[in-house]
Structure 1
């Protein structure tokens, strides 16, 4: 396996050094042109409203030029007043006009100024809100899932995990492409733009607090480096990685991955099975698609199953995980089920799990 050259690594590091950041999913906002149009319309309404107030109370105003306030003078007064220019050529002279200026026109002046500087205020507010959301996200995030690589493999892995009940708020996507992270945000996932082989990028994804890490990068050498870095930051997380070539799987396991999936070989075996038996291939494809038809799941044995053989359980048990061993359902070493066993079963996706199964914590293999 070839590792990337120093020039390529340096180039990638320079490219991502500015773009590394955490992006929380954004709410859908209006287009800038629509926002500006709405602000202009609001400002115009305030201006017209102020002018009409002055015009209807024109007897209480004095004009230094002709002592008469008409509609044009009212709009002129509203304009210079709301913009705080205030030339002083038209002034309220009666008590009623001055009272209206205090109680009505002055608040309208404040509203008018807020509308004019609304863009700046919105930017400041958005930055404060985003910083608050980010700090809150960091403080509450625990036992989440980090997915490095949001390509075809990464997306499929996330959909499968979310189909089992994992909330989108508990998934963090790491990818070097800003456009890819934007796509992840659009689907409701938190994203970190950056190179997953760098420890500072993985720290931004809170890898040290993650329960499981999925590595779905495009290159096998990148997957090895990501696995090494992730395992250094988190000794207890479950790391699952995908490689293209089967010869690289042992190296990935040595780098810290608990499970390694060879994508090319797995696809080839499924193709071969589909050729020999199309229906069997269809069943296998159904099993690996969580949430439809048949699902294959791993769950702890419940109290009612202790002392039974795998064949005597309600679910179809295909394997029993005992300690670090995976035993077939017909393996004589299984004997009777124990409370510490974990069962790999095939169930229908519409079947609701036992209450004890839902509450049981996940264990590392």
Structure 2
């Protein structure tokens, strides 16, 4: 597995969109508090004749600063007091609301940076514990987004799809689609572990780079050897590397597109039929399932309601045209059936 570079971020976190960064939010709140205190200070200074210092009888600027801060943060000590009606009304209708707003700012900051962060960490840990039989998509580029859309069209709840990416803009798109998200580098063990790789139903790897895809597949195989891994590979020569890394399914969009175009050149409806097979909105659907009790002893051609195409037994693929295409217990069946029966 790849080791982290010095200073690199390896700790995963569930992504939660925020309009402002924490530091900017804190600075904005401090600035708001200072503006409010400044309003109270200016009012007291310009109307300092309405104040009385019971200590020395002179109200200096430092006395005004002291009186303003004490009045805004508490109720004062009585050493400096407003004595005129105007000064008392200013304290009543200006300083008192300022005091309330300043305390709200302080309490809001404490909630945002202490209580809420603690709550979010607890909530995200609870989400992690609940993740089970979900699909993880590593890389939310064009291919990853299309994979997520197709999963949703096939009936997968958005909450059962976890997107792992380092791009916050990509994660924002995933959040807009109500998908669960993890911010981090999927080539690191901790990130895939945070996404619940050991309890996942499947892993889709679409980072946009073949070397990264192979590393993610290796990491996933080390953490969860039982989880099927589908990897998108751009270069044909890298398919063998993905296979050696443990990829269960390797999809090369370039070669697949070329094969589909070549097939379409031999028949006008081939591409349409293949599109029907691989998308949720077609008239027919491919389904992989374990052989059921009622299938045992039947030939692939005899399966209903679909049409059996292939079965897998002990790592061997058996087509419907072969004589031994009889379903046995423990076989995996690939069949095609009408979309409404899928």
- Determine whether 1:22 maps to 2:13: yes
SS in 2 for 1:278: coil
Q: Match for 1:214 among 204, 218, 224?
A: 204
Residue deviations 1:37-58, cap 9 Å, x none? xxxxxxxxxxxxxxxxxxxxxx
CA distance in 1, matches of 2:331, 2:317: 10
Question: CA separation of 1:326/1:241 partners in 2, compared to 1, >3 Å: closer, same or farther?
Answer: same
- Structure 2 counterparts to residues 1-365 of structure 1, below 5 A: 13=5, 17-18=8-9, 20-24=11-15, 84-85=74-75, 115-117=104-106, 119-123=108-112, 124-312=114-302, 313-335=304-326, 337-351=327-341
Contact 1:241–1:257 (8 Å) recurs in 2: yes
Instruction: In structure 1, list runs of 5 or more residues that go unmatched.
Output: 1-8, 37-64, 66-79, 91-107, 354-365
SS in 1 for 2:340: coil
Question: CA separation of 1:308/1:119 partners in 2, compared to 1, >3 Å: closer, same or farther?
Answer: same
Residue deviations 1:208-246, cap 9 Å, x none? 333322111212122122212221122222111111122
Contact 1:160–1:289 (8 Å) recurs in 2: yes
Question: CA separation of 1:165/1:346 partners in 2, compared to 1, >3 Å: closer, same or farther?
Answer: same
CA distance in 2, matches of 1:111, 1:281: 68
Instruction: In structure 2, list runs of 5 or more residues that go unmatched.
Output: 20-24, 30-51, 53-69, 83-96
> How big is the shift at 1:182?
2.1
Runs of 4 or more consecutive aligned structure 1 residues displaced over 6 Å after TM superposition? 80-83, 87-90, 108-114
SS in 1 for 2:220: helix
Question: CA separation of 1:303/1:187 partners in 2, compared to 1, >3 Å: closer, same or farther?
Answer: same
Aligned residue pair count? 284
> How big is the shift at 1:265?
0.6
Task: State the TM-score, normalizing by the size of structure 2.
Answer: 0.69
Contact 2:73–2:99 (8 Å) recurs in 1: no
Contact 1:26–1:186 (8 Å) recurs in 2: no
SS in 2 for 1:232: helix
Contact 2:134–2:160 (8 Å) recurs in 1: yes
The CA RMSD measured in Å over matched residues stands at 3.6
Contact 1:22–1:205 (8 Å) recurs in 2: no
CA distance in 1, matches of 2:9, 2:212: 20
Question: CA separation of 1:295/1:115 partners in 2, compared to 1, >3 Å: closer, same or farther?
Answer: same
